Amino acid sequence: MRIFNINSQVTPDIEFIKKYISYGFIFNKILKNMDIFIVNEELMDVINPPLEEPEISCADEMIKSNANKISALRHPMAIAIANVFEDEKDKNMKRDEFTDISDILGKCRKVKYNVSGFYAGYSTIDNIFNSIFKYNSSLDKNMYDLINNNHSSIDTNKIKKAIFICYERIIKSSTDLKVDPNTAFLITLFHELTHAYMDSSKKLDYYNYRNRIIEESLCEAMSYDCFKGTEFDGDVAKFVFESDKPLSYKCGIYISEIAKTIPLISIVNRWKHGNVKEILFYFYEFEKLSDDICKVLKQGPFFNRTNIFYNIANRSDDYASNLLAMIIVEKTFEML
Ligand SMILES: [Zn+2]
């Protein structure tokens, strides 16, 4: 791991980072070849322009007013799964048509969200450095590595993975919450390392909102999970769950709830490998909704999980990820 400051006025306490980076031991392998660049707010927005996210209160209203379309709020998974069967009955509906959560939330008022961290995989590194050098043509490629205390020449062709972090922005958001910015830096780093671990960007369309909900909520839950049971637990919970983040990030609350029962890494690994349906089955286990599902379907006790799983297993991956995103959003709103 190397950390370079490109143009930020402030940098985190490197001794603190070195001491506590081991809380993210799960990322050890990725960290070995990871270069981390600290940038100011303006450059962060050049690297990753602000995203449009649905305003939380509007999204809440929209989800509730579409409850009949999506599912009832009390037991979303039971009804959502039951809807799979309802769809079957509707001869006019093609097998894999569904109410897309992106369409529902697309009608919401939007807020701009300026990110504090950004993970860049191999395919995007070149473009990013081009835009950085365009932004600051006098930038010296011989940079000081804060971790190893030496100068290192940045050869953009050799950088395979990079994380960009805006510490100025982290200081602002953590100070509001009375959280130590060094801890907040590590939280942000672990969030980005989860993106790097899953490396799902090459497989999925991040700009499709249902994918973003799943991806960001998993990263938030993972960054919290790294600190669970440590002296930073309370601060991290505040920074992850109470800060003014958009909906897709806030959904980490529900994932963290699930992670009390199911090992989070097993959910993350399934998303990494695109096994969305298996995640749905995990959620089913977590929610223990078999009775409700039987009631909804007006089936006796012999209507078992195999039937439900079989039905979902036959659906497209898009159908499964949409259902998963809906469940995550609905359950999150129950918890907010
Ligand atoms: Zn993220």
Span 49-58, average pLDDT: 91
Task: Give me ligand 1 centre to Cα 197, in Å.
Answer: 12
Q: What token pair was written down for 239?
A: 């920074």
CA of residue 188 to ligand 1 center, whole Å: 9
Question: What span, in angstroms and rounded, lies between the C-alpha atoms of 228 and 257?
Answer: 12
pLDDT at 74 over 50: no
**pLDDT at position 282:** 79
Residues 6+ apart with CB under 8 A from 231: none
Find, among 246, 321, 316, 243, the residue nearest to 283 by Cα: 321
Q: What separation in Å is there between the alpha carbon of 210 and the centre of ligand 1? A: 14
Query: Under CATH, domain 2-53+112-258 is a member of which superfamily?
Result: Metalloproteases ("zincins"), catalytic domain (3.40.390.30)
Give the pLDDT confidence of 81-100 residue by residue, as tens digits.
555 555 444 444 454 556 78
| Residues contacting residue 115 through CB under 8 Å, at least 6 positions apart | 44, 48, 50, 51, 166
CA–centroid distance, residue 220 to ligand 1 (Å): 8
- Report d(CA 223, CA 27) in Å as an integer: 11
Bridging pattern class, strands 34-38 and 2-5: parallel
Q: Are the CB atoms for 321 and 212 separated by under 8 Å?
A: no
Q: 79: closest CA among 66, 94, 92, 91?
A: 66
pLDDT at residue 32 above 50? Answer: yes
Query: How many A from CA of 224 to the centre of ligand 1?
Result: 13
User: What does DSSP assign to residue 172?
Assistant: H
Encoded tokens for 110 = 């939007």
Percent of the chain with pLDDT over 70: 80
Instruction: Please state the domain extents for the chain.
Output: 2-53+112-258, 264-303, 305-335
Q: Which two tokens stand for residue 11?
A: 């940098």
Ligand 1 centroid vs 90 CA: distance in angstroms?
38
Question: What's the gap in Å between 248 CA and the centre of ligand 1?
Answer: 9
Measured in Å, residue 167 CA sits from the centre of ligand 1 at 15
What mean pLDDT is reported for the chain?
84
User: 11 near 174, Cβ under 8 Å?
Assistant: no
**Lookup result for tokens 């473009």:** 127
